């Protein structure tokens, strides 16, 4: 078999014990489901083909967090995943390394700041959404937030305080390709994280104005 993809048809709160998927045909009892940075396991109460999927949360050391509607869902049997319960031959993550929080957004609104000492990946789903990014607190110095569009859409992100404290306050994603932009928190400002790319980047650029 192979990993399958769908999306959340309803938001999932931290305390929820089930997921509502856009397609139930991808799931089966015992399958693993990844939504953002959390891993779930489908429990014995699942009825084949149903879109409401009972789950065990926070599997394999992941943290149970809230997930928004339209969040990307990856589903498969344990053997389908590259990282399984087989003996580990190389460290997957450095000891005491930084964590990266992954959150999905399916509607316009505020992008959550990463927890202090950690990084964040904000995934914007669906059609063009107007998002905002608040000023980082001083305890976020060094934290990196990457904002990515999961489909070609002209998302906008308004950066409080301006990028690096300058006049550039709005990031507009190109509608014809998958785009992302990163910022590092420094002294209560979001400083653009430079890209090493060059050449003609028309369909994957993020314009700052």
Spell out the domain ranges in the chain.
4-80, 100-208
The pLDDT value given to residue 107: 94
pLDDT at 192 over 80: yes
The set of residues, in sequence order, having a beta carbon less than 8 Å from that of 51 and lying 6+ positions away, is 9, 20, 21, 22, 23, 24
Dihedral sign computed on CA atoms, order 65, 69, 70, 73:
positive
pLDDT at 204 over 80: no
Mean pLDDT calculated for residue range 17-43? 93
Dihedral sign computed on CA atoms, order 2, 3, 7, 13:
positive
Average pLDDT, the chain: 86
The pLDDT value given to residue 85: 47
Angstrom distance (rounded) from CA 71 to CA 52: 15
CATH of domain 4-80: 2.40.10
pLDDT band at 15 (very low <50, low <70, confident <90, very high): very high
Angstrom distance (rounded) from CA 4 to CA 14: 24
pLDDT band at 89 (very low <50, low <70, confident <90, very high): very low
Alpha helices in the chain, H assignment, sequence order: none
CATH of 100-208 given 3.30.300, 2.60.120, 3.30.70, 1.10.3470: 2.60.120
Give the tens place of pLDDT for each residue, 94-144. 445 678 899 999 999 999 999 878 899 999 999 999 999 999 988 788 899
Give the tens place of pLDDT for each residue, 132-190. 999 998 878 889 999 999 988 999 999 999 988 888 899 999 998 888 999 999 888 99
pLDDT at 87 over 50: no
Higher pLDDT, 94 or 64: 64
pLDDT band at 88 (very low <50, low <70, confident <90, very high): very low
Angstrom distance (rounded) from CA 195 to CA 205: 10
Residue 112 bridge partners (DSSP): none
- Residue 146's Cβ-count burial label (10 Å; 0-12, 13-18, 19+) is middle
- φ, ψ of residue 79 in degrees (nearest 5): -70, -15
Mean pLDDT calculated for residue range 56-71? 90
Contact 32/1 with Cβ under 8 angstroms?
Answer: no
Tokens found for residue 163: 């990028």
The pLDDT value given to residue 199: 64
- φ, ψ of residue 193 in degrees (nearest 5): -90, 110
pLDDT at 69 over 70: yes
The pLDDT value given to residue 197: 57
- Length in residues, the chain: 209
The pLDDT value given to residue 202: 67
Contact 137/161 with Cβ under 8 angstroms?
Answer: no
Dihedral sign computed on CA atoms, order 59, 63, 66, 71:
negative
Tokens 């928190």 locate to: 185
First to last CA, the chain: 46
């Amino acid at each position: 078999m192979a990993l399958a993809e769908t999306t959340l048809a309803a938001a999932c709160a931290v305390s929820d014990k089930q997921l509502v998927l856009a397609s139930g045909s991808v799931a089966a009892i015992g399958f693993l489901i990844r939504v953002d940075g959390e891993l779930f396991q489908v429990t014995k109460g699942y009825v084949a083909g149903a879109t409401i999927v009972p789950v065990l949360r926070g599997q394999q050391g992941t943290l149970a967090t809230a997930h928004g509607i339209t969040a990307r869902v990856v589903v498969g049997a344990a053997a389908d995943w590259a990282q399984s319960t087989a003996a580990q031959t190389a460290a997957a993550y450095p000891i005491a390394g930084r964590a990266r929080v992954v959150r999905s957004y399916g509607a316009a609104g505020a992008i959550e700041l990463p927890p202090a000492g950690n990084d964040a990946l904000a995934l914007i789903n669906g059609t063009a959404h107007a998002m905002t990014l608040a000023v980082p607190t001083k305890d976020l110095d060094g934290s990196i937030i990457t904002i990515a569009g999961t489909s070609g859409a002209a998302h906008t992100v308004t950066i409080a305080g301006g990028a690096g404290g300058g006049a550039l306050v709005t990031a507009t994603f190109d509608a014809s390709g998958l785009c992302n932009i990163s910022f590092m928190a420094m002294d209560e400002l979001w400083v653009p994280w430079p890209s090493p790319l060059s050449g003609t980047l028309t369909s994957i650029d993020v314009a700052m104005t």
